[in-house]
Every structure is written in C-alpha cells, then in structure tokens.
C-alpha cells in the first residue's frame, strides 16, 4: 500500500514544537527575529513572503520585511545587509530571490553574515554543510529530511537519484543524503538516459520544474518519490512527478501541493531559532 507523505501534517506538528521553543526563549528575554529583504514586486514572491509573515507570527518569531524599489543600487543593498549583520537584535537575515538583473545575487548572499544566514545559501555554510560541520542547511532540504524522518524512511544504503543541481535543493540535499549513508546520483538537463538512472533508484527526488517529467515506466517498484517541483499547467498546480501514474507503483510519494511545500516555510522558521540559539551560546 502506498504511503502519502503528508507535508501539512508534519508541518503542523513541527509548528507546535517551534511555538514551545519560542516560549522557552521568551522566558530568557529572547525574541527570535528575522529580517526579510524584498526587492521589487514579484507576485509569486509576495505569496511566499506572506506565508512566511503569517507563520512567523503564529510561532512567535518577530518578522520584519524591508521592501526596496527594484531600482535600488547594489551598494545600497549591501550597506543595509551590513547594518543588519551588526545589529545584535537580528538573528536571521534572508533576501528574497530572484533579484533584479543589475544586482549580483552571489555577492548579496555572501554579504550576509554566516551566523545570520537564514536561507543557508552563504558559501561558508554551504562548504561546512558538505563537511557535516553545520546545522544550517537550506529550508527545502531540511523539510525533505523532516518528512523522511517522520515517516521513518531510512536512506542508509539506498540508491538515491536527485534530479536538479541547484544550490537551493539538489546539491545540498546530496550532501545530506551522503551524510546519511545513501549512494547519490545527481541528474540534470545534460543527463543522458535519465530513465536508466531512475529505474534503479530506491529514492527519487525531482526539482526541475518540468510538469510530469517522471512517468510510471521510469521508476522501480516500491520507490520513494519526493516531488519538489511546482508547475502551473492549464490552471492547475502539479509537480515534476506524474502522481496518478506513479502512485500505486511507489511505496511512498509526496502530493503537490501538500507535500514538501508546507515544510519549506516552517523549516525556515526552525532555522531562525537555531541561529538565535547559536548566537546565545556563542
């Protein structure tokens, strides 16, 4: 029988735990604080940012969104981040991506102090992540791991194929799967014969943004399927994995929506609390 990996349920339980953690911090006169930098007006980003605002309020995290014109100069943006880096009351900083083309995203991300890097994108934290020396990892990756842990899906000794090589999901997830003793293959747009890889995989994670890329004949019996894709087609939201086709062949599968998505935002909030505690403990 196929297990539906319900991200909403896991996110709700994690939210309750984070609320308790915030209460503990409040007793020490600590108010976990996240600053979000938004540049320009992107409708998709606004929906995501609103979800962050609402969840932060629900958990008890102070969330401050700083909105800037899309014409802001790179220097102005860097100066603001440096100011936040120096403010001891700020525990986490994140910059909503994408940024306007005239701004160097890598330079902006690298300006955020590693100890306040809420997204886990800073080069220092990414490097430490591959060394298994940090708790700071990208939120979507943390969400996937939380989902696997909740449903007791052990990746040790398993063959895992990750489709997508971004610094947000693909590469950092590979580091965490390796840390958990999986054998990992990263596939991407230049990969030949993708089906040859996925047909041998015990676990397939897809994050390429191509609707229904993964079909029934591309997976092995009883594979675990994690869908990170978010695609709109004919007014419908769907993932990279053909859910209906693959459902009864998989041992476990995430729905879209309702799988990994709900865990991404709550995992970001969890990271803010980790940053706050790290700063307290020095």
DSSP assignment of 106-172 equals HHHHHHS-GGGBSSS-SHHHHHHHHTT--S---HHHHHHHHHHHHTT---TT-EEEEE---TTTHHH
Residue 154 banded pLDDT, cuts 50, 70, 90: very high
Q: Of the listed 21, 96, 116, 158, which one is catalytic? A: 96
21 is catalytic: no
Residue 33 β-bridge partners: 62
Phi and psi dihedrals of 66, rounded to 5? -105, 115
Residue 47 banded pLDDT, cuts 50, 70, 90: confident
What is the secondary structure of 13-39 as a DSSP string?
Answer: HHHHHHHHHHHHHHHTT---EEEEEEE
Query: Over the chain, what is the mean pLDDT?
Result: 95
Q: Are 135 and 105 in contact (CB under 8 A)?
A: no
pLDDT above 80 for 94: yes
**Alpha-carbon gap, residue 150 to 157, rounded angstroms:** 19
**Alpha-carbon gap, residue 55 to 63, rounded angstroms:** 9
For 204-252, the pLDDT digits (tens) are 999 999 999 999 999 999 999 999 998 888 778 899 999 999 999 999 9
Phi-psi sector, 173: left (phi>0), alpha (psi -120 to 50), beta: alpha
Residue 282 banded pLDDT, cuts 50, 70, 90: low
For residue 195, the surrounding DSSP H or E stretch is helix 194-198
**Alpha-carbon gap, residue 264 to 281, rounded angstroms:** 26
Q: Once rounded to an integer, what is the mean pLDDT over residues 38-67?
A: 90
Fold exhibited by the domain 27-113:
Rossmann fold (3.40.50)
**Tokens representing residue 115 in the block:** 């100890």
Q: Of the listed 21, 52, 116, 158, which one is catalytic? A: 52
pLDDT above 90 for 152: yes
Q: What is the model's pLDDT at position 101?
A: 94
Fold exhibited by the domain 139-262:
Rossmann fold (3.40.50)
119 is catalytic: yes
52 is catalytic: yes
Radius of gyration of the chain from Cα atoms?
19
Q: For the chain, which residues make up each domain, given as ranges?
A: 27-113, 139-262
Q: Once rounded to an integer, what is the mean pLDDT over residues 131-143?
A: 95
Q: Of the listed 21, 117, 119, 227, which one is catalytic? A: 119
pLDDT above 80 for 45: no
């Amino acid at each position: 029988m196929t297990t539906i990996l319900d991200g909403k349920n896991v996110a709700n339980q994690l939210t309750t735990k984070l609320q308790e953690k915030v209460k503990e911090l409040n007793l020490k006169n600590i108010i976990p604080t996240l600053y979000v930098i938004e540049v320009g007006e992107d409708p998709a980003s606004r929906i995501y940012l609103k979800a962050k605002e609402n969840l932060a309020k629900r958990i008890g995290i102070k969330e401050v969104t700083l909105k800037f014109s899309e014409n802001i100069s790179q220097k102005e943006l860097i100066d603001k981040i440096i100011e936040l880096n120096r403010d001891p009351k700020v525990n986490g900083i994140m910059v909503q991506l994408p940024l306007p083309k005239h701004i160097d995203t890598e330079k902006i991300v690298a300006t955020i102090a590693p100890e306040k890097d809420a997204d886990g994108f800073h080069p220092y934290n990414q490097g430490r992540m591959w060394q298994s020396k940090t708790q700071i990892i990208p939120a979507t990756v943390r969400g996937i791991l939380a989902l696997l842990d909740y449903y007791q899906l052990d990746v040790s000794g398993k063959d895992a194929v990750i489709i997508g090589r971004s610094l947000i999901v693909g590469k950092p997830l590979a580091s965490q799967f390796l840390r958990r003793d999986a054998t990992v293959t990263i596939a991407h747009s230049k990969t030949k014969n993708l089906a040859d890889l996925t047909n041998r995989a015990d676990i397939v994670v897809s994050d390429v943004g191509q609707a229904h890329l993964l079909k029934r004949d591309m997976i092995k019996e009883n594979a675990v399927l994690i869908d990170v894709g978010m695609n709109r087609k004919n007014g419908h939201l769907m993932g990279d994995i053909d859910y209906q086709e693959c459902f009864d062949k998989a041992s476990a599968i995430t729905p879209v929506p309702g799988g990994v998505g709900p865990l991404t935002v709550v995992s970001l909030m969890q990271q803010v609390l980790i940053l706050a505690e790290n700063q307290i403990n020095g």
